[in-house]
Amino acid sequence: MAVCILATMCAGFTKPIHIVAVGASNTQGWYVGKQGAYPAKLEALLRQKGVNANVVNAGVPFDTTAGMLKRIDSDVPKGTDIAILQPGGNDKRFLVTKEQRAANIAAMERRLRDRGIKVIVYDDEIPARYYAFDFIHLTGDGHAFIASQLLPRVLAMIDRRAIAASPRAR
């Protein structure tokens, strides 16, 4: 008897995984457009793995973590399974302290988790070769890099959700 690891790949499981990516211009897809941005690329990678997923792009150019915190509840609707927070570098450009940035990220995480939404904070160092000529925004390869880095994290969360929902786990 085969064991179902990914709930979206099991026979009879058709409910898509709803993911929302919250961030600023790099999430939105500055220079590459929404279809070239990492949320769309992540959705494509998940579908290649047989995962029925919808990844919504909630990137707003020039946004800071304070702005993201203000819109977190409206941009991440009820029914969202996973939220990806990509806080970016605008806080530094707009002179927000490291402490306030950390507090804003922690508040977003807390609000989402209180609503039963799994959270991935993608605040990793991105190699310089993935930045465009302005050294702020990502190239198409940079977006593909982020999507490839997020894929195993999202799959791990889906696995945990599938295991927790399986009859054997109860």
Cα 41 from Cα 7, distance rounded (Å): 21
- In this structure, how many other beta carbons lie within 10 angstroms of the beta carbon of residue 11? 7
Q: Rounded to two decimals, what is the model's pTM? A: 0.86
Specify the pLDDT at position 106.
Answer: 98
Specify the pLDDT at position 160.
Answer: 55
Chain CA centroid to CA 157, Å: 12
Lookup: tokens for 80: 């969202």
- Domains for the chain: give ranges and CATH numbers: 15-154 (3.40.50.1110)
First to last CA, the chain: 19
Specify the pLDDT at position 50.
Answer: 93
Specify the pLDDT at position 13.
Answer: 47
Where are the alpha helices (H) located in 35-139, listed in sequence order?
Answer: 38-48, 65-75, 90-93, 98-114
Specify the pLDDT at position 14.
Answer: 57
**Which strands form 118-121's sheet, in the order they lie side by side?**
53-59, 17-23, 82-86, 118-121
The pLDDT profile of the chain, 170 residues, written as one tens digit per residue, is: 333 444 444 444 458 999 999 999 999 999 999 999 999 999 999 999 999 999 999 999 999 999 999 999 999 999 999 999 999 999 888 888 999 999 999 999 999 999 999 999 999 999 999 999 999 999 999 999 999 999 999 999 997 554 444 344 33
CA nearest neighbour of 64 among 15, 120, 16, 104: 104
